[in-house]
Amino acid sequence: SQTIHQWPATLVQPVGSPLSLECTVEGTSNPNLYWYRQAAGRGLQLLFYSVGIGQISSEVPQNLSASRPQDRQFILSSKKLLLSDSGFYLCAWSSGFGGADTEAFFGQGTRLTVV
C-alpha cells in the first residue's frame, strides 16, 4: 500500500535561518507531488507541485523553493526564513497515471514557527 512520510512534525526556527522539510512517498511510482501551506483557520494554499523528477512549478511568489531529487522525494527549502513563513505545511501526492478524477493523499503536516 502507498504511504507518505513528512517530517519533522514540528519545527521552531529563528528568523534568517535555513529550512528543509522532507516528504517521501512509498508504494507508488511517478506520483504528482504537492506542497501546501495552511494558515490558522484558513484553507490550503498550493505552493509547489511536481509531475516528475526535477520538474517544479511554483504557484505563488515567495521565500521558499522546492526540489524533487528523486521520484518519490519532495523537499521544501528556504535560505532565510521570515516570520511570515510560519504556518502548517502539508505534503501530498496523487497518481501520475490516473488522469482526471484522482484523489490526493496527505502527509501529517509540519507545524513551522519562525521566531
Q: Please tell me whether residue 109 binds other proteins under the rule CB under 8 A.
A: yes
Interaction pattern, residues 46-85, with other proteins; x per rule: CB under 8 A: x--x-x-----x----------------------------
Round to whole Å and give the CA distance between 113 and 57. Answer: 25
Integer CA distances (angstroms), 3 to 29, 45, 46, 80, in order: 12, 22, 21, 31
Q: Please tell me whether residue 113 binds other proteins under the rule CB under 8 A.
A: no
Round to whole Å and give the CA distance between 109 and 35. Answer: 10
Among 75, 107, 112, 114, binds other proteins (CB under 8 A): 107
| C-beta of 64 vs 90, nearer to other proteins | 90
Among 21, 25, 28, 32, binds other proteins (CB under 8 A): 32
Integer CA distances (angstroms), 92 to 5, 16, 50, 80, in order: 10, 27, 11, 24
Identify the helix (H) or strand (E) that includes residue 45. Answer: strand 44-52
Residues at the contact surface with other proteins, assessed by CB under 8 A = 6, 32, 34, 36, 41-44, 46, 49, 51, 57, 88, 90, 92, 94-96, 98-109, 111
